[in-house]
Amino acid sequence: MENSKKTEKVRIFRSIKELPRHFQRQWKSILVFAIVFQLLMSFLIKPISFGLGNSILRRANIPSLRLDSLSLAASKPLFWLVVFVGMVGFAFLMLFQLSSYVFLSSTEHRTNQLWSDLGIVLRRIRYMLLPRRLLLLLLMLPILIILGLTYNQTVLSGFQVPKFIQEHIFSNNTLASLATILALLVTYAGLPLAFVLHGFISGGLGWRAALKQSLRLTKRQSIRLLILIIIVQLITAFIIHVLRLTVLTVVYGIIVLTRGNQLTGFDFSLMLGVSRLMRHFNLVMLTAITLAVQSQQYQKLGGNISLEQEKNQSKTINRKVRWVLNSSIVIMILLSFFMIGHQLFLNTVPHGSWWNLTGHVEIVAHRGSSRFAPENTLAAVRKAVEQRADRVEVDVQLTKDGHVVLFHDSTLQRIANRPERIKELDLAEIQEIDAGSWFDAKYNNEKIPTLSETLDTFLPYVNFNIELKPDGNSQELAHAVVEIIKERNAFRQCDLSSLDKQAILNAKELDDRVTIGIILPLITGNFQADDKMDYYSVETSQISIAKLDEAHQLGRAVYVWTVNDNADFTKMRELQVDGVITDEPFLARKFLTETPFELGLLNFLDESSD
């Protein structure tokens, strides 16, 4: 029976004042549920769902979803089946998530045991999924999606519009305006639906009755309710932001006290990880508090509440079962922190990248940081590391007496104003050459280093792309380089590339653990499945979405050279290439970085290095 309490107005400031008292009994259960649900989504449900979806799309010969391939995807019935099944599946997940928040943020009908409360929610949802109600539920999917989009952190928040579509929309003023208007309309449309789930979960009403009640309760109250929610969210965001800054300050202080000013990439990764965790906590709490505000107003406005009978019939979970469930939560949380920490570690110390800001585009410093230091010298490699490159590309040649040195040109003319070739000189003669003053006087007497010296100086903290530049001695050069890598067991940190296909094939034959790639100034024809390459290094003008997909279908990565300006960075980001080879590693890092915190951290590092 519907609650007969007289409908009140939404009283903004009184509601804000009463909210802490309303929320204090429920916050622990809400926080535990939010953490567990997000962990399940991140480490189980999303990976499985995306994996299945990708497998199905590949079977339909849809290799990827990009702007160029959307029309192809839209012409495939299987694509729309995947979209529909995905929408239905995640609508059910979102229904459970939002319903749980609604029930846990109530004050009058909880059992005060998290698992028992979630059991009640599941029974209510199961009742809704009866065959005779299923068609009605499918008709309610748009309402669920609108509800999900009006909150900060729901199932839908992890399934945003792909970035290449977002960039296409917001690069066009008309499309950007339409997208903004649509977002406002969705938010406005969601306001009258604010109490639909409350009516169904808390009030025991059917969908029609719950919808009718929500429209009645929000009549002439929508704007006041929206203002209340915005104010509460701003206050909550401010408090959590202060907490986030406090935690980051403490972490930074501990790092500085223990390491002094010698901060490593792992230290910055740790700070970035803490920041992201705090940001995620912020979004989760905003959603929970938003629904707590709605639960508070639902009761004040006279919303129907009739779950006492189901509460009394709910069974207390056996102590052993509860212990197993709680232990599973603890293990899941610890495992997730281990996975996050391990990923941060992999992104820094063994691989030499400072932290993984770009997510997927590897930044390779061309000949070291050759725009800021003399190319192919220890100074250039050191500068590349300072500029946060993920990998350093160096060129190698063989001396007369069989040593591998870092050098690019066919002769010493440009570097030292000498006509000799590297293969015509012994190592002792080469190391007498000044390889730095041609670039800048401050690099006077910078030497041409050997590959062994370079690896010994920077391994294991730097990755290398070693380009073989044979001069009629491809087999000897390949053998010497592979032996140097083998002696240091550096197969993971070093890969080989060359314009000379035979040189890198020789290297692969010497040791199959070597990663090899062919450099392609010009692409003619198709990539070959049996060419034994692990990746392709392609000139900027030659790359296209078709060639990128072709390489990826063969399981090969694609690196693009030489990418130095914003237009090319934009193109590479849209194409989602695997790596860029650049003379401007720090500029590449800043341009490919997307979040304000990461960009601010890079700016801080840029100022610190001056």
Residue 507 pLDDT? 93
Residue 288 · residue 152 · CB < 8 Å: no
Q: Within this chain, do residues 249 and 390 fall inside the same structural domain, yes or no?
A: no
Q: Within a domain: residue 397? A: yes
Residue 311 pLDDT? 46
First-to-last alpha carbon distance for the chain, in angstroms, is 72
Q: Within this chain, do residues 600 and 468 fall inside the same structural domain, yes or no?
A: yes
Residue 366 pLDDT? 92
Which range of 79-88, 150-159, 305-314, 448-457 scores highest in mean pLDDT? It is 448-457
Give the Cα separation of 412 and 426 in Å (integer). 14
What domain range includes position 73? 13-346
Q: DSSP label at 42?
A: I
Residue 322 pLDDT? 58
| pTM, entire model | 0.47
Query: Among residues of the chain, what percentage have pLDDT more than 70?
Result: 61
Integer-rounded Cα Rg, in Å, for the chain is 30
Q: Give per-residue pLDDT as tens, 223-244.
A: 777 777 778 778 877 887 788 7
Q: Within a domain: residue 7? A: no
Query: Which of the listed residues 320, 346, 372 is the one where a domain comes to its end?
Result: 346
Give the Cα separation of 567 and 546 in Å (integer). 20
Q: Within this chain, do residues 321 and 375 fall inside the same structural domain, yes or no?
A: no
Report the pLDDT averaged over residues 467-490.
93
Q: Within this chain, do residues 390 and 416 fall inside the same structural domain, yes or no?
A: yes
Q: Within this chain, do residues 329 and 366 fall inside the same structural domain, yes or no?
A: no
Query: Among residues of the chain, what percentage have pLDDT more than 90?
Result: 18
Report the pLDDT averaged over residues 315-342.
57
Residue 573 · residue 593 · CB < 8 Å: no
Give the residue with greater pLDDT, 156 vs 477. Answer: 477
Question: Among candidates 352, 438, 361, 343, which has minimal Cα distance to 388?
Answer: 352
Residue 430 sits at the vertex; the CA angle it makes with 428 and 434, to the nearest 5 degrees, is 120
Residue 281: enclosing H or E segment and its boundaries? Answer: helix 265-300
Task: For residue 592, give Cα distances in angstroms to 360, 385, 480.
Answer: 10, 17, 36
Give the Cα separation of 285 and 113 in Å (integer). 20
Q: Within this chain, do residues 180 and 145 fall inside the same structural domain, yes or no?
A: yes
Q: Within a domain: residue 60? A: yes
Q: Within a domain: residue 354? A: no
Residue 363 · residue 579 · CB < 8 Å: yes
Give the Cα separation of 362 and 589 in Å (integer). 9
Query: Which of the listed residues 292, 312, 346 is the one where a domain comes to its end?
Result: 346
Residue 609 pLDDT? 45
Query: Which of the listed residues 296, 318, 346 is the one where a domain comes to its end?
Result: 346
Q: Within a domain: residue 24? A: yes
Q: Within this chain, do residues 323 and 208 fall inside the same structural domain, yes or no?
A: yes
Q: Within a domain: residue 352? A: no
Q: Within a domain: residue 357? A: no
Give the Cα separation of 475 and 405 in Å (integer). 16
Q: Within this chain, do residues 584 and 473 fall inside the same structural domain, yes or no?
A: yes
The residue written with tokens 């790359």 in the block is 543
pLDDT tier at 476, thresholds 50, 70, 90:
very high
pLDDT tier at 309, thresholds 50, 70, 90:
very low
Q: Within this chain, do residues 490 and 560 fall inside the same structural domain, yes or no?
A: yes
Which range of 99-103, 257-261, 558-562 scores highest in mean pLDDT? It is 558-562
Give the Cα separation of 142 and 441 in Å (integer). 68
Spatial neighbors of 27 by CB under 8 A, at least 6 apart, are 288
Say whether pLDDT at 377 is over 90.
yes
Domain tally, the chain: 2
We report the CATH number of the domain holding residue 564 as: 3.20.20.190
Residue 450 pLDDT? 95
Residue 369 · residue 383 · CB < 8 Å: yes
Q: What are phi and psi of 326, to 5 degrees?
A: -65, -40
Give the Cα separation of 469 and 375 in Å (integer). 15
Q: Within a domain: residue 3? A: no
Question: Maximum CA pair distance of the chain?
Answer: 99
Q: Give per-residue pLDDT as tens, 48-85.
A: 776 676 667 666 665 555 545 566 667 777 777 877 77
Q: Within this chain, do residues 320 and 425 fall inside the same structural domain, yes or no?
A: no
pLDDT tier at 524, thresholds 50, 70, 90:
confident
Q: Give per-residue pLDDT as tens, 111-146.
A: 556 656 666 666 666 665 555 555 555 555 555 544
Give the Cα separation of 118 and 114 in Å (integer). 6
Q: Within this chain, do residues 472 and 379 fall inside the same structural domain, yes or no?
A: yes
Residue 516: enclosing H or E segment and its boundaries? Answer: strand 515-520
Q: Give per-residue pLDDT as tens, 451-474.
A: 999 999 888 778 999 999 998 899
Residue 420 pLDDT? 92
Q: Within this chain, do residues 547 and 582 fall inside the same structural domain, yes or no?
A: yes
Residue 314 pLDDT? 45
